[in-house]
Structure 1
Amino acid sequence: MSQQPAQYGYQNAPVQRPTETMAILAIIFAFVFPVLGIVFGVIGRKNIARNGNNGRGLATAGMWLGIVFTVLTLVYIVVVVAIVASSGMQTAP
């Protein structure tokens, strides 16, 4: 009984899909200019659904971080305006 050595053949490399550019821009702009993070996140998710590229998590994270930072910025502006308005309303006797 003779055993033949294992045959090693060439295997095809798995196809690596590229990461969606809009998803990368979404996560970057979420920290710099949050409104663009939201826009790029939505566009990136639509592109990923259409072409199957990688980066759905990046697009989703960029979109949500953009939303959170936009809300925090708006709350900050409202608080600052309220403080300025209340300090200007004091009347002198």
Structure 2
Amino acid sequence: MPFQQPPLPYPMDALVPYLSEEQIRFHYGKHHAAYFKNLNALVEGKPEEQMTLREVVIRSTGPVFNNAAQAWNHTFYWNCMAPKGGGEPAGELAQAIRRDFGS
């Protein structure tokens, strides 16, 4: 089965005003999708086609690695954000930010 781009964990407009719906549509719908399309073309009929995405990232090199890693990275990126998520850093992280960036 080809590698499939997972659905976003929220609606396309859920991160406004930090990311616009247009930005998400382009980044997710074109950019992220292209990594899956390219990866599937590169591994068709090869052993990597039967691996998980994580296994391909760990075991491959060159263009297969590049596309698999970007597909994985972007999936991670989308899952690290949440509507109304985040908030102010606390503890050691907050102290390091204030120390290093003054805010």
TM-score after normalising by structure 2: 0.29
Higher helix fraction: Structure 1 or Structure 2?
A: 1
Q: Which structure has the higher relative contact order (CA within 8 Å, separation 6+)?
A: 2
When the two structures are superposed, what TM-score results if normalisation uses the length of structure 1?
A: 0.32
Larger radius of gyration: 1
